[in-house]
Every structure is written in C-alpha cells, then in structure tokens.
Amino acid sequence: MLLNKPLPDPGRKKAASTTAATTAAKNTTDKGESSLAPASSSSSSTPTFANSDDMLRWLYADLTRISQVAAPDIVLHRVGDHGRPLRGAAAAQAHEDGLVAAAGGTLAMDVDRVSTNAHFGTVLGTLRAQARGQSQPIPDLAVPFCGVWRFDERGRLAEHWENVSVDPAKVARWFEEAGQQKKQKQ
C-alpha cells in the first residue's frame, strides 16, 4: 500500500507540511536544496507516503520515479498523443525516461499547487527544459501544465492526463527535436 494513513477530508484545507509524522520527510541534498522523500519504504522498495499530495510532489521532483508508484496497468495520455495512450508501467517509465533524456537532464516540473482526494489528483505548475549543447539552438521551454491523475484502490497511479497551456503539438515537437539533435551528436 502506498499510503500509510487515510487521505485527508477533501472538504477541509490542510495546513502546510510541518511534521514527519503527518507528511513525507524532508531531506537536504548536498547542494542544500530541500526535497520531499517518502515517509517510509516497504520491503519491496515501494515507497509509502503520508498522503497523495506528498506522493505527487515526490514524483514531480523526479519523473523517472513513476514506476515506483504506478499501478502495473497505468494508462498515460501524453501531450499530443491523439487518442493513443500508453499502457502499462513499463511504457510510462520509458516515456518519462525519454522526456528527461531528450531534455539532456534539464527537465524540471516546478509545482505550484497539488490537490487530491481519495480518487483523483491535480498538479499545477510550469514545465521547464533546455536543449543544451545542440547543434541548432532550440529555445528553452517554459510551459504551464496541469497533470490530472486517477488513483487505484491501493493509492497507486492508475491513469494520467498530461495537459499544457499551449498547443500540445508544439511541446511534443520540442521534445522530438531536442531528442533527435541529442542522438545526432552521439
């Protein structure tokens, strides 16, 4: 089970995370930056979280963690997928790994707001990426996003819809071009 306690009452606003007993623990990286970490881990190395908000914040800090919190049969509706979603945790993992690789490791999901209940979650923020060292410069990417999630009965990620504030084809094209130029350099 991913959640180690019941989700908060959706009708009640919760206070900012302040204690490790009710939220994911805060860790400090060697650069002095703060990042969310799971409240605990089970023996199967599946992280557990105080609530779905913490799980989503943890995921958005590093999208390559998706398979650790996704249901095996997750459905991922990509930006610009034209009704052809990805199916399965391995496909979702490959998609997120591909985005990070295409952006040369610069992909950052700056989260502004997370809202969840027992069934759904939304994450609002700004997607940022740079195509560093490309032979033909590609402008940096900074696009507001809204990630919509559906949770299964165990609190795992069962379905995800990627949404951006601009033409989805432009965002998909940015990642394609950045990834192609990166492959040409290798």
In a domain, 113, yes or no: yes
In a domain, 163, yes or no: yes
In a domain, 76, yes or no: yes
* Contact (CB, 8 A) for 149 and 129: no
C-alpha 42/C-alpha 19 separation (Å) is 20
Instruction: Kindly report the average pLDDT of the chain as a whole number.
Output: 78
Q: What are 96-137's pLDDT values in tens digits?
A: 999 999 898 999 999 999 999 999 999 999 999 987 655 566
Give residues with Cβ within 8 angstroms of 33, minimum separation 6: none
The CATH number that applies at residue 171 is 3.10.450.50
In a domain, 54, yes or no: no
Among all chains, which residue has been given the structure tokens 């590609």?
Answer: 138
In a domain, 47, yes or no: no
Please give the sequence-ordered ranges of beta strands (E in DSSP) within 15-166, or none if there are none. Answer: 26-28, 34-36, 40-41, 47-48, 70-77, 86-87, 108-116, 120-129, 141-151, 157-161
Total count of domains within the chain: 1
In a domain, 149, yes or no: yes
Token pair in block for residue 73: 């049969």
Q: What are 55-71's pLDDT values in tens digits?
A: 999 999 999 999 999 99
Q: For residue 76, what are the domain limits? A: 65-185
Three-state DSSP at 23 gives: coil
